[in-house]
Amino acid sequence: MSTKNKVLIIYTGGTIGMINDPKSGRLISFDFKHMYHHIPELERLNIDLTTISFEYPVDSSEMHPSRWADIAQIVYDNYGLYDGFVILHGSDTMAYTASGLSFMLQGLKKPVILTGSQLPIGTIRTDGKENLITAIEIAASKDESGESIVQEVAVYFEYSLYRGNRSSKVSANQFEAFSSPNYAELAIAGVNIQFNKERLLRSDLSELKLFTHFDNHVALLKIFPGFSANVYKSIFDFQQVKGIIIETFGAGNAPSDVSFRELITNYINEGGIVLNITQCSSGSVEQGKYETSSFFSKIGVISGSDMTTEAALAKMMYLLGSESSLEVIKDKLSISLIGELSV
Ligand code: ASP
């Protein structure tokens, strides 16, 4: 029997799995069954690899909570058979999928590592090979007692491992495409992979739990100087939208526009949920610090602390889909469930 650690690679689509079609000159997905042909280095890893591919690989713009659920289901069904999982995914919405999966797969004791690339694996200067090889190594890494070092959903890109629900795509063309400004890297890959052990998540759950029922009746509103509340009236319709995330200025501030305040107040009174996150790429909401945010606390807007937009959306969809009590949803939005915000 093989004593090698086993990793399941799930290919969902994106640039990493593409090669140039010599006939058309276009980028096409290659068949992951022939992975070793394109990345012969994988043969030299002392890890047992299996691959599964989406039947129709997608650009990550086509991702949807139902597709996150497909990925989560594959991990769940194969959980006992592998030591770790690598999900190959387009980088554009990788942080959303990572956030979604972190709520879908709770109680992980094994790594689920998302990676991708800015250049296709078939191009000479590709970043895909290093990303894939190191992601596999991380997914197979165990400590002295035989436990997986990483026990959560994470994103690996360009020598850094980030907590999935703390990551965001920050560059459309740099190899260093991701960042996690409010939570330091879980690991840095140099000559060795240096894990930042005190940053790694450990769950209290005794077994893996799958939550795939996400409710996408949510809206995202980014305010800007001069924004007219009337233009956005339709999203404050509780029959259509159950939760709204507002991206505010700085530490959670918004203009004291009367019609905006009225819209939010009425929406909350009807049973809607409003979550306040900052549009700054780092730092946290502190409702009440300035007059321009104290109104939010008074009417029951919830502070999203330092959550990313991706995590806030995924968390809202998860809670609306899995909890029926409004009070429970509101309470859970403001605390850390799986390391998505700082308390
Ligand atoms: N558009 C691609 C995607 O997100 C880009 C990439 O793979 O990085 O699917």
DSSP calls for 97-145: HHHHHHHHEES--S-EEEE--SS-TTSTT-SHHHHHHHHHHHHH-B-TT
Burial of 124 (0-12, 13-18, 19+ CB in 10 A): exposed
Correct CATH for 218-333 of 3.40.50.40, 3.40.640.10, 3.30.870.10, 3.40.50.1380: 3.40.50.40
Topology agreement, domain 5-210 and domain 218-333: yes
Burial of 30 (0-12, 13-18, 19+ CB in 10 A): buried
Q: How far is the CA of 115 from the centre of ligand 1 (A)?
A: 11
Probe ligand 1: pick from 92, 168, 171, max atoms within 8 Å of CB?
A: 92
Give the closest residue to 183 by CA, choosing from 194, 199, 170, 206: 199
Probe ligand 1: pick from 11, 60, 174, max atoms within 8 Å of CB?
A: 60
In angstroms, rounded to a whole number, what is the distance separating the alpha carbons of residues 279 and 122?
Answer: 37
What is the token pair recorded at 259? 């019609």
Which of helix, strand or coil describes residue 30? coil
Please check whether residue 86 is in contact with residue 47, taking contact to mean a CB–CB distance below 8 angstroms.
no
Give the closest residue to 51 by CA, choosing from 114, 110, 5, 8: 8
Which of helix, strand or coil describes residue 294? helix
Give one word for 291, left, alpha or beta, with left for phi > 0 and alpha for psi -120 to 50: alpha
Please check whether residue 141 is in contact with residue 161, taking contact to mean a CB–CB distance below 8 angstroms.
no
Residues 6+ apart with CB under 8 A from 54: 10, 11, 12, 13, 70
pTM of the model: 0.96
CATH class of 5-210: alpha beta
Per-residue pLDDT of the chain (343 residues; tens, 9 = 90+): 668 999 999 999 998 888 777 888 887 777 777 778 888 889 899 999 999 999 989 999 999 999 999 999 999 999 999 999 999 999 999 999 999 999 999 999 999 999 999 998 878 899 999 999 999 999 999 999 999 999 999 999 999 999 999 999 999 999 999 999 999 999 999 999 999 999 999 999 999 999 999 999 999 999 999 999 999 999 999 999 999 999 999 999 999 999 999 999 999 999 999 999 999 999 999 988 888 888 999 999 999 999 999 999 999 999 999 999 999 999 999 999 999 999 8
**Measured CA distances, 73 to 62, 166, 300, 321 (Å):** 18, 22, 36, 17
| 15 belongs to the catalytic site | yes
Which of helix, strand or coil describes residue 63? coil
Amino acid at 72: A
Residues in the chain: 343
Q: How far is the CA of 165 from the centre of ligand 1 (A)?
A: 19
Residues 6+ apart with CB under 8 A from 99: 164, 165, 308, 310, 311, 313, 314, 315, 340
Q: How far is the CA of 56 from the centre of ligand 1 (A)?
A: 15
In angstroms, rounded to a whole number, what is the distance separating the alpha carbons of residues 257 and 280?
Answer: 21
Domain coordinates of the chain in residue numbers?
Answer: 5-210, 218-333
Pocket around ligand 1: residues whose beta carbon is below 6 Å from it?
A: 13-15, 59-60, 90-92, 116, 118
pLDDT tens string 88-111: 999 999 999 999 999 999 999 999
Q: How far is the CA of 117 from the centre of ligand 1 (A)?
A: 8
Instruction: State the DSSP code for 66.
Output: H
